[in-house]
Amino acid sequence: MLNFEELKDYLNEKADQYNNPEFIENDPIQIPHRFSLKQDIEIAGFLSATISWGNRKSIIRSAEKMLDIMGNSPYDFVINHSEKDLRPIKEKSIHRTFNGEDFAYFIKQFNKVYKENESLENLFAVQQEESNFLHSIERFRNRFLETEKHRSHKHVSSPYKNSSSKRIVMFLRWMVRKDKKGVDFGIWEKIDPKYLSIPLDVHTGNISRQLGLISRTQNDWKTVEELDEVVRKLDKSDPAKYDFALFGLGVTKELL
C-alpha cells in the first residue's frame, strides 16, 4: 500500500494524464462542448449528465437525439417552445427509463427556472458554512422539481435519501471546476470548486477501495463524504480533479 505522499504523487500524475482534451471525444461532456452560450452549455450539460448511465456511446447518441429535437439550440427551444412542440416529444423514447415524457417535463421546468434566473448557478449556491453540495443539491431539487409528484423526479436523485447523486455531482464538476486543460467549463464563477465531490459510481468506488481511499462498501452519499475527506487532504482547493485519476484508472484497468 502506498503511503500518503506516494498516493498523492500517483493520483496527481494520473489526474494530469487523463484531464486533457482527448478525454472529451468519448465522454458525454462532448455534448455541452458543442456550444458557447452559457445557457446552452448548462442545459445540454444537465440533460447529458442526467442520462449518464450505461454505455458511453449510447449516452452520447441519446443526448444527440435530444439536441436534434431542440433544433440544436437548447436555450432557445426551452424559452420559446409551445405546448404543441412538446406533444410529439412525449411519445418518443430517449434513453432507457428516461423517456419523452421526462424530457418534456425537464424542458418545462427549465423554462420556469430561466424565466426567473439567468443561470442554473443561482439554484446551486452553496452557503458558507456548508462543506459540500449536499444541501445545495436538495435546494435545487426542490426548486426544479417543485412539489407536484411526477415520474421524472426519480431522474434527479437526492443525497438526503443517501443517493451518491453521481450524475448531478458530475454536472457540477463540469460547470464549476476551472483549469486550463479544456475539459471542464468553469463557467460558474460564484461557486468555489473546493465544495465539489467526486462523482461516485461502481468504477470510481472500486478503484477508491483498491487504493484504500474509502472503506465503506456501498456507493452512497455517506461514501461520497468519506472520499471527500481524503481527496481534500490531497488538494483542498480542487478535490474533484481526482475524478480524472479514478475514472482513468477504472477505464484502463491499470490497477488490476
Point out the residues of the chain with pLDDT beneath 70: 147, 255-256
> Can you tell me the distance from the alpha carbon of 200 to that of 246, in angstroms, rounded to the nearest whole number?
10
Per residue in 181-194, pLDDT tens? Answer: 999 999 999 999 99
Provide the phi-psi class of 199: left if phi over 0, else alpha when psi is between -120 and 50, else beta. beta
* Cβ contact 135:93 at 8 Å: no
What's the predicted TM-score (pTM) here?
Answer: 0.95
Give the cell for residue 32.
455541452
> Can you tell me the distance from the alpha carbon of 193 to that of 190, in angstroms, rounded to the nearest whole number?
10
Q: Where are the domains of the chain?
A: 4-251
Give the cell for residue 159.
443525497
- For position 255, what pLDDT does the model report? 66
- For position 211, what pLDDT does the model report? 94
- For position 100, what pLDDT does the model report? 85
Per residue in 138-161, pLDDT tens? Answer: 999 999 997 677 777 878 899 999
- For residue 201, give Cα distances in angstroms to 47, 162, 247: 18, 13, 10
Of the candidates 30, 40, 35, 52, which has an alpha carbon nearest to the alpha carbon of residue 183? 30
Give the cell for residue 166.
453521481
